[in-house]
Chain A
Amino acid sequence: MNDENLTPDERRAYANLPRESQPSDLLEERTVQSLRARGLLGSPRPAGLILTTGWMATAAAVVCALLLGAFALGQSLGSRQTAEAMLAMHQQDGEQAVNAVQQAGAVYLTALSDLVQRAASEPAEQRDQGREAALHSLYQVADQMVRLAPDDPVATRILQAFEQARNETGQDGSENQVIWF
Chain B
Amino acid sequence: MKYSKQKNRNEKSLIEAIVRDGDEVAFRQLYRRHTPRLMMVVQRLLAASGRDAEDVVQETWIRVVECLDSFRGESTFATWLTGIGVNVTRNHLRRQGRRDAFAWETVPEPPAPQRNGDDCIDLERAIALLPDGYRSVLVLHDVEGWKHHEIAETLGVAVGTCKSQLFAARRWIRSYLGTTNEVKHE
Contact = CB atoms under 8 A, between A and B. Distances in A.
A177 interface: no
Interface string A30-62: 111011101111101101100110000000000
B35 interface: yes
A124 B183 CA distance: 69
A45 B62 contact: no
B123 A13 contact: yes
B43 interface: yes
A175 interface: no
Given A2-B164, A45-B25, A51 B39 contact: no
Interface residues on A, range: 35 or more
B65 interface: yes
Contacts of A22: 36, 39
Given A9-B184, A18-B40, A20-B40, A1 B164 contact: yes
Nearest to A22: B36
A133 B24 CA distance: 28
SS class, residues of chain A in contact with chain B: loop
The 7 closest A-B pairs by CB, nearest first: A2-B167, A20-B36, A48-B3, A42-B22, A21-B40, A21-B39, A3-B163
Interface of B: 1-4, 18, 21-25, 27-28, 31-32, 35-37, 39-40, 43, 49, 54, 57-58, 61-62, 65-66, 119-120, 123-124, 142-143, 148, 160, 163-164, 166-168, 170, 179, 181-184
Interface of A: 1-10, 13-14, 16-24, 27-28, 30-32, 34-36, 38-42, 44-45, 47-48, 51-52
